[in-house]
């Protein structure tokens, strides 16, 4: 009987030691599943790992500079002659093109310079007339140089060009007038429009025939710089 008791006690001790060993292994193994939750950075460390907003690339900066210093050719053409010259000029200098469209189109009768009662005759005889311009307002903010083209009517710019000059802020821009005619020069047209604006640099304008070529227009534009 005395021999049995030690054997029983020994068995109980072995079982107790085995249970403790198993519990310790279980406790040590638990962290193996923890990284899934611990992988995300804490709020305290997250800002240091968030990259700063990227700076504008050189290409983007250059594109903005080109836009800010853009060139525009704005023109009024009643018969299509000035339109053709304006289109060739825009191609020659790499400019955007904008047509000044009258709110009330001019008919052939309106353009009859032999009729003292025609619309164009009355308008040119009254320097206060301001024909309306159709379409949306033009945004000039991206342009540094603006060519303005028109036909010569009764020795001067059509009154709709005065409307155009008074409708926009040309401050800080270089404005270059050009005209088309059968023989009359540009005269005081550029100076007339310059007086209707402020803060702009107006260069001397030039008269072109309707058949002027793109090379001649490019040479003229290059000579202005």
**Those residues with Cβ within 8 angstroms of residue 141's Cβ, 6 or more apart along the chain or in another chain:** none
Which pTM value belongs to this model? 0.70
User: Nearest-CA neighbor of 137 among 169, 106, 93, 162?
Assistant: 169
Distance of CA 100 to the CA centre of its chain: 20
Tens digits of residue pLDDT in 71-97: 999 999 999 999 999 999 999 999 999
Q: Which residues pair with 74 in a beta bridge?
A: 98, 148
Q: Which CATH class is domain 65-223?
A: alpha beta
What integer is the mean pLDDT of 35-47? 35
Q: pLDDT category, 38, cuts 50, 70, 90?
A: very low
Task: With a cut of 60, say whether residue 23 has pLDDT above it.
Answer: no
* Domain residue ranges in the chain: 65-223
Q: pLDDT category, 182, cuts 50, 70, 90?
A: confident
């Amino acid at each position: 009987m005395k021999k049995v008791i030690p054997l029983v006690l020994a068995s109980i001790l072995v079982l107790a030691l085995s249970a403790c060993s198993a519990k310790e292994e279980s406790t040590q193994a638990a962290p193996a599943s923890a990284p899934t939750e611990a992988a995300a950075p804490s709020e305290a460390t997250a800002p240091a790992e968030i990259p700063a907003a990227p700076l504008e690339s050189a290409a983007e900066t250059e594109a903005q500079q080109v836009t800010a210093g853009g060139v525009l050719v704005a023109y009024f053409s009643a018969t299509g002659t000035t339109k053709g010259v304006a289109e060739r000029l825009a191609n020659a200098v790499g400019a955007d093109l904008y047509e000044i469209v009258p709110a009330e189109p001019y008919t052939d009768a309106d353009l009859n310079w032999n009729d003292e009662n025609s619309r164009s005759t009355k308008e040119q005889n009254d320097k206060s007339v301001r024909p309306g311009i159709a379409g949306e307002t033009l945004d000039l903010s991206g342009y540094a140089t603006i060519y303005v083209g028109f036909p010569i009517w009764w020795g001067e710019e059509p009154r709709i060009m005065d409307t155009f000059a008074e409708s926009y802020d040309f401050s800080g821009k270089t404005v270059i007038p050009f005209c088309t005619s059968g023989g009359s020069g540009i005269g005081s047209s550029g100076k007339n429009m310059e007086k209707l604006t402020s803060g702009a640099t107006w260069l001397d304008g030039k008269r072109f025939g309707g058949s002027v070529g793109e090379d001649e227009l490019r040479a003229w534009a290059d000579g202005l710089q």
